Structure 1
Amino acid sequence: MLKIKSYSLTKPAIYLYSLLAITMLNFCTENQSHNERVDDVQKPNIVLILTDDQGWGDLSSHGNKIIHTPNLDTLHTESVSFLNFYVSPVCAPTRASLLTGRYALRTGTSWVTHRKEVMRSEELTLAELLKSHGYKTGIFGKWHNGEQYPNDPLGQGFDEFFGFSAGHWNNYFNTTLRHNQEEVATSGYIADVLTDKALQFIEENQNTPFLCYLPYNTPHSPFQVPDSLYDKYKALGLNNKDACVYAMCENIDLNVGRVLDKLEALHLEENTIVLFLTDNGPNGHRYNGGMKGIKASVDEGGVRVPLFIRWPGKIPANTRIPTISAHIDLLPTIAEWCEIKLPQDLQLDGRSLVPLINGDADGWPDRRIYSYKPNKDLTRAGAVRDNNYRLVVDQNDNLYLFNMTEDPGQKNNVAEKEPEVAESLKRAFDNWFTDVTAQGVEPPPIPVGFDAAPEIELPAPEASIHGKLNFKGGMGWANDWITGWSSPLDTVSWELEVEEDGLYELAAQLNISDEMVGANIEARTNQKVIRHTVIQAFFSPNLSSHDRVDRGEVYEKNWKSVVIGNMDLEKGKQTLKINVNASQWNGKMELKGLRLKKVSKAG
């Protein structure tokens, strides 16, 4: 605090000294504020970019002679890159491990649909960790670790969410996305729109340390991309799918360039750690550096992906690290750079890569990295990788051992020639699997009734279906719906965990033909039943799409929201069931899901 001695002064002198004192006070206050801002800025910002189904070979810096990715090539040159970096073989498990530093099975995430993609809300995420230390946190893209609060991004540490929570999206042009709790219509190509929001977040928080998580949903299917890029690759003689995938990857490259340009324009590049990686191997057979396997495989090509890390002036550029590493390592690495002490009781599977990056790897211990082959049934199948070998274990307990140093393409199974190595790695895999599944991986019930999320969706793929019902797309991937109603015995059920007693409005997302007008839709839980009689048909065709290749997932269509009624739900576990009574069954009914909206609390 500025102190002024007392003297006998004339009024002009008093005025001058007062003016001087005010000026000095303002200077000190402004200088203090500036120093506080400098202290904040000294905490590194984090920009974490993840792409969806882009393989290790989908970069020109990795030897692909067809694709054009100049911005990612530049990032590669300016970064430390890990030559043997591993993730999970499919989307949701990679995301859970990336955000927690733990193997996905340990977090409850075992697959990609039917709520097996949900990460436990109790998990400490990177966003929660950074937010607790003064960071602003935003996610712009695909979440895929839980649809409902508190398993959604807002419940897992993100201040802002713009994107979608499902495993994939149905339309990439002029689509509807979610901004926090609201649905918003967008204009343009989805990756461009997501980047726009990420850039806005960076600009709004440039004076505050931030985590900007940018999980693009491309080049995942459906295969849609603007004409100019698609035409460029078709002109090279590629088939429709590969032309679209490479065009989608080039669009990602353009958007990564926009992010890097924004950091430079705001003078943030030297204080921002940029990480780029992909979530699994390529979604098809194309150039992948001669590796065996693609997405969903636990062979090298299904789980080895690029990792580039850039922090100008703080870590070396144009450096290549061959030591094996994995997605589980990023949380402890970022925590060390941000000087954040992790909770002592936090059981991490990853370790900080900072010693490797700093060239101080003396004493770095040998390790094994494990992969689980996700499927709808929890089978003990997967792989283990050490510095020299990859052991693949199939669901019948067959062993396939490969010497990755001598045989990087996995052409020769040496399990019989080196049985001791194979058995040692198999024992390690079995012990790991038992450990990471110790808490169980059964899908949790859907959380209902939180004040932070008074309205939630119960999507069809999160339901159990009974009778002759089926999913339109077969497997019940994201955005699928239920069809095949032919009897009152056909039932759909969702398992709920109600946070508190309350009155809830139930609305069904329906398509229903003329023949089914007059049918009664019944919703019940325990002994409570509400009914709605269908008085008007509504049946939408599939909407037109910009697909370059016929899709394996369902197409997008319009749905009519039909309020079934209000129902009291009691705190605790509940089973909510839907069935239909009709006088005739020669029509069609399709159910996309339910929406539950809290009307009032009990009492």
Structure 2
Amino acid sequence: MNRCHPIQGNLLIEARLPSLFRTFARSKFAFLAGLLLVSTPPCLADVGTRPNVVVILTDDQGWGDLSVHGNRNLSTPHIDSLARDGVTLEQFLVCSVCAPTRAEFLTGRYYPRTGVSGVSTGQERLNPDEFTIGELFQDAGYATGIFGKWHNGTQPPYHPNDQGFNEFYGFTSGHWGHYFSPPLEHNGTLVRGNGYVADDFTDHAIEFIRKHREQKFFCYLPFNTPHSPMMVDDRFYDKFEDAAIDPRHRDPQMEDLSMTRAALAMCENIDWNVGRLLSEIEGLHLSEQTIVVFFCDNGPNSYRFNGGMKGKKGSIDEGGVRSPCFIRWQGQIDGGTRIEHLTAALDLMPTLADLAGIDWQPPKPIDGKSLMPLIRRSQVTWPERTIFSIRGNQVSARTDRFRLDAKGHLFDLQEDLAQSTDVASRHPDLTARLKKQVAEFGKSMRQSFDANTDRPFTVGYRAKTRLPARDGTPHGSIRRSSKAPNNSFFVNWVDESDHIHWPIDVGQTGRYEAIVHYTCAPSNVGVRIGAAASDASTSALVSVAFDPPLYAKPKERVKESHYFVKDFRVLSLGTLNLTQGRTTLRLFASEPQGPGIIDVHSVELSRID
């Protein structure tokens, strides 16, 4: 596509797209047209004077998992240096779980508005008509890349390559089952990782920066650690294996020390990788031309030191939603600056746009605010704001000083981070005002949730579409390999009456090859596996046994992990003639030859017209 003529370049594309994709195309290209009218065309702008941007996001690392925040159990000198050399957002809020935080960072909008309502089975998908921070910088002439965990949609147009990122290496799921050379994806193609995932993602981010050092780049590095499984290399874990832990969680009896030790080791690995990234930026003489942002996606994934705050991951109390956030831009932002005002992941998109000098008009109202006046210290007064935390039907409200929790209790966080004393009776007017705001906001968010409950999985937007087990529904005796859907596969298929289905929306009428990723024990070879949608069906015999062992987990530091990973083989089931529109894809079996059928990782539909 000619970036200087985005409208003309996509008229033919739009004409071929079904309704969902026409909505997606019109909204995005209409915004781009507006950008051309209100500012210099991105392809003609003086991009050379703008800064590069590197955003580092960690997964399940808490506010307290840094030495700069008083945790003496570990050392994080490289992350700490971002606080020393940049600005610290002291009261920075994210969401209580992964995908919602990513959606708010990517769009500057509360996550229910974006289509996201959960973390798996399609609830994690960011609506394709949302305008992302990747698209913002891409349209301003930047090379854009993401290396790590996306967690906002798998099938195009939800895929990161369709949401503003030229380069993607990692996985789209909510979590991954193995951290040493696991199966990953590179721009839609399945690949095998190289070494420990956090190291591998950093290697690819560094390669991206080197490749684009002569132009401007936006590099998004969302690590998937210290999320479980608690796998980490010996050279980071040995230090913690028998270490005494102090400080600990405020309720020590609730703390699982094996989990804490593993998490701390994984956080030191993150810090080592942040150090490698910062060293590369410095070695390329890009430090004064590059903004570096560091934050986390939610509270810690276990009860461990977190500054005495109440709550952990999954909670909308302070400990579940407060994150560190550091922004460094050497020569432009005063080192050691501390901002005490309430801020949030919602604010990063407008803030980075302002810092980069990108003139833009959001195509949809955003909830975030640019923090540049605070960072530049050009605005002494800053209006107090209320930021809401949402989980399901629960809403909590936060001001600079107070939190109204989901039960309507008010806490003065300046005096009581533990949220132990309800002060609502001392501040009746404030309590009434916040309760009213919570009621109004909650009603609006529930309407947004309801508007996104009926979304089948998209097929045919690009040549290949993968439908993982995570998004499927098993029937009969079939069950998932693990209790969490995200990185599971289907097992225990023992009867030909059992089946699996995926609700799909076919974007383009045509012939599609159906491919199943399977394993099959030798005793079950000869079973016939079929795929059907509407009036079309096709099937093939399983003629090759493939029954590999589960990946070994010698570096798993917490016992009884429920994550299981193995390799799968592909089998073409033949072709299906699919008609544009909504239908159901059904995977079925017949002619069983043994006591079982197959295990299923995913089904792939490839358009062959």
Superposition TM-score, scaled by structure 2 size: 0.86
**1:73 equivalent in alignment to 2:80:** yes
Q: Say if 2:223 is the partner of 1:216.
A: yes
Residue matched to 1:567: 576
> 2:33 aligns to what?
none
Q: In the alignment, is the contact (CA less than 8 A) between 1:222 and 1:551 conserved in 2?
A: no
Say which of 414, 420, 424 aligns to 1:405.
Answer: 414
Query: How big is each residue's C-alpha offset from its partner over 1:484-543, in whole Å with a ceiling of 9 and x where there is no partner?
Result: 334444332112121211111111122233453443323211122222233344333312
Is residue 131–residue 363 contact of structure 2 (8 Å, CA) maintained in 1? no
Contact map agreement 2:482 2:564 (CA 8 A) in 1: no
Aligned to 1:188: 195
CA drift of 1:194 comes to: 1.2
Deviates more, 1:117-126 or 1:502-511: 502-511
AA aligned opposite 2:570: S
Number of equivalent positions? 553
The equivalent of 2:106 in structure 1 is 99
Specify which of 52, 56, 59 is matched with residue 66 of structure 2.
59
Structure 1, 516-525 or 56-65: larger mean CA deviation: 516-525
1:543 corresponds to which of 529, 545, 551: 551
Partner of 2:509: 501
Checking the alignment, whether the CA contact within 8 Å between 1:90 and 1:296 is kept in structure 2 is yes
Determine helix, strand or coil for the equivalent of 1:298: coil
The structural deviation recorded for 1:122 is 0.9
Report the Cα offset of residue 411 of structure 1. 1.1
Aligned partner of 1:444 in structure 2 is 455
Task: State the match for 1:358 in structure 2.
Answer: 376
In structure 1, what is the equivalent of residue 470 of structure 2?
A: 461
Map 1:386-401 to 2 at 5 A. 386-393=399-406, 398-401=407-410
| Amino acid in structure 1 at the alignment position of 2:91 | N
Query: What SS does structure 2 have at the residue aligned with 1:216?
Result: strand
> Structure 1 pair 229/475, CA: closer, same or farther in 2 (3 Å)?
closer
In structure 2, distance between residues paired with 1:278 and 1:442: 28
Which of 397, 409, 430 is equivalent to 1:384? 397
Corresponding letter in the other structure for 1:336? D
Instruction: Tell me, in whole angstroms, the C-alpha distance in 2 between the residues paired with 1:424 and 1:366.
Output: 14
Aligned to 2:587: 578
Q: Percent identity?
A: 40
- Displacement of 1:176 in angstroms is 3.0
8 A contact 1:163–1:194 mirrored in 2 = yes
1:293 aligns with 2:293: no
Q: Distance in 1 between matches of 2:404 and 2:597?
A: 49
8 A contact 1:41–1:271 mirrored in 2? no
- Specify which of 457, 472, 484 is matched with residue 481 of structure 2: 472
TM-score by length of structure 1 reads: 0.87
Q: Describe the SS at the equivalent of 1:218.
A: strand
Q: Name whichever of 242-251 and 484-493 sits farther off.
A: 484-493
Question: What amino acid is the match of 1:425?
Answer: L
Check conservation: 1:388, 1:404, Cα contact below 8 A. yes
Instruction: Give 1 or 2 for the bigger CA radius of gyration.
Output: 1
Give secondary structure in 1 for the equivalent of 2:62. coil
Q: Secondary structure at the match of 1:85?
A: strand
Once the two structures are superposed, the pairs formed by residues 227-238 of structure 1 within 5 Å of their partners are 227-237=234-244
Comparing 264-273 with 462-471, which one deviates more in the overlay?
462-471
Q: Is the 8 A contact 1:116 1:443 kept in 2?
A: no
List per-residue Cα deviations over 1:188-238 (Å, max 9, x = no partner): 222111111111111111121110111111111111111111001124245
Distance change (3 Å), C-alpha of 1:150 and 1:523:
same
- Name whichever of 38-47 and 566-575 sits farther off: 38-47
Q: How far is the alpha carbon of 1:359 from its aligned partner?
A: 2.0
Deviation at 1:402, TM superposition (A): 1.8
Unaligned 5+ residue runs, structure 1?
Answer: 1-35, 374-378
Partner of 1:9: none
> In 1, are the aligned partners of 2:494 and 2:596 still within 8 Å (CA)?
no
- Verify: 1:482 aligned to 2:500, yes or no: no
Given that 2:526 and 2:593 are in contact with CA atoms closer than 8 Å, whether structure 1 keeps it comes out as no
In structure 1, what is the equivalent of residue 353 of structure 2?
A: 335
Aligned to 2:599: 590
Correspondence for 2:51: 44
CA distance in 2, matches of 1:41, 1:437: 44
SS at match of 1:273: strand
TM-aligned CA deviation for residue 417 of structure 1: 6.3
Matched, 1:148 2:155: yes
Name the CA shift for 1:43/1:466 in 2 (closer, same or farther; >3 Å): same
Q: Match for 2:516: what amino acid?
A: A
In the alignment, what sits opposite 1:14? none
Query: Aligned pair in 2 of structure 1 residues 588, 502: CA closer, same or farther (>3 Å)?
Result: closer
SS of aligned partner of 1:144? coil
After TM superposition, the structure 1 = structure 2 runs for residues 248-263 of structure 1, keeping only pairs within 5 Å, are 248-263=266-281
Partner of 2:23: none
Q: 2:284 aligns with which of 266, 276, 284?
A: 266
Q: Retained in 2: the 8 A contact 1:447–1:497? A: yes
Alignment of 1:81-230 (within 5 A): 81-230=88-237
Residue 583 of structure 1 deviates from its aligned partner by 5.0
Q: Which amino acid aligns with 2:223?
A: Y
- Partner residue, 2:333: 315
Structure 2, gaps ≥5 residues long: 1-42, 246-256
